[in-house]
A = this chain, B = another copy of it.
Amino acid sequence: MNLKTKSFRSVVKNYKAVFFDAFGVLKNHKGLIPGIEKTFDYLDEKGIKYYLLTNDSSRSPEALARWYQDRGIMQVTTDKILSSGMLAMEFFKAKVANGNAVAYLGTESSAHYIETAGLLTVAVKNIDLDNIDHIESFAFLDDEGFNWNEDINKTINLLRKKNMTVVVANTDINYPVSKNDISVAVGSLADMVENIIGKNFIRFGKPDAQMFLLAFERALQDINVKRSEILMVGDTLYTDIIGGNKFGLDTVLVLSGNTLPDMAHIRISSSGIIPTYVCESAVVE
């Protein structure tokens, strides 16, 4: 292990494709990471492909891409986005019978994306617990859009009344909302419910291999590439780096997000999660 940081340019130039984590790498609570537009220009110039892997089921890939385009990075198109919400949507498409419904906790817009699979969705608040025959599956989509006290308790009693497959479409336990403050993510709400009812939920999101597989399959549609030719770039050891390592990718830990420069050495040593490289940020100077 060598904690001497390298320039991102010197690292990325040796790969055919890059997988980026979004928050802490490309953006933060204030907006785009300053200068990150130069990275996309550099990658385009070199012919290096790029994809964004994000634990997000609150918005569709279209909406996620639009955020970058609205800020002038036109290269981040929908086909570059791979989200845990997409895995959830694919799951329900394969597993839920025609005419049946997926109950959910989240915003209406998080459910709209599931509906593009041709499924019905029903918000927990709109469920009649005495009439649940048509509800076949359950999704934790977003931490907003519902009354936590009422609807979490209603969810628990729904899942006790009827045995059904439960999907957690974002495994993160919290997310940053400002420089110092965080907020409970839907993954934590799902953990609490799972612990109370004692059942086993299906979780989608980094560090799970299925997120990396989704992005790898997408990359293979664009270029002929081996895993060893792909670089995973992230700010979080426990999701981006261990997941990338395990999937057989080389990994870069950037110090522009969750892992701060003065703690990086201690975090790597105490976690045992060792990135291939450490860079100050993903900005190509």
- Which positions in A face B, CB cutoff 8 Å? 1, 90-91, 94-95, 143-144, 147-149, 152-153, 156-157, 159-161, 163-166, 173-174, 180-184, 188-189, 191-192, 195-202, 208-210, 213, 227-228, 238, 242, 245-248, 268-274
A166 and chain B: residue at smallest CB distance: B272
Pairs of residues from A and B, 7 with the lowest C-beta to C-beta distance, nearest first: A199-B272, A148-B148, A209-B209, A209-B210, A148-B149, A192-B192, A157-B181
Task: Give the oligomeric copy count.
Answer: 4
Q: How far is the CB of A231 from chain B (nearest CB, A)?
A: 13
A14 to chain B, nearest CB (A): 15
Q: Determine which of B199, B213, B228 lies in contact with A271 in the assembled complex, contact meaning CB atoms within 8 Å.
A: B199
**Considering the chains assembled together, what is the distance between the CA atoms of A34 and B248 in angstroms?**
40
Contact yes or no, B173 A195, CB < 8 A: yes
Residues of chain B lying within 8 A (CB to CB) of residue A183: 153, 156
CA distance A247 to B204 in the complex (A): 10
CB-CB under 8 A for A192 and B188, given A160-B182, A182-B156: yes
In the bound complex, do residue B163 and residue A268 qualify as a contact, i.e. CB atoms below 8 Å apart? yes
Give A173's nearest chain B residue, CB to CB.
Answer: B196
Known: A91-B246, A91-B248. A200 touches B165 (CB 8 A): no
Cα A157 to Cα B181 in complex, Å, equals 6
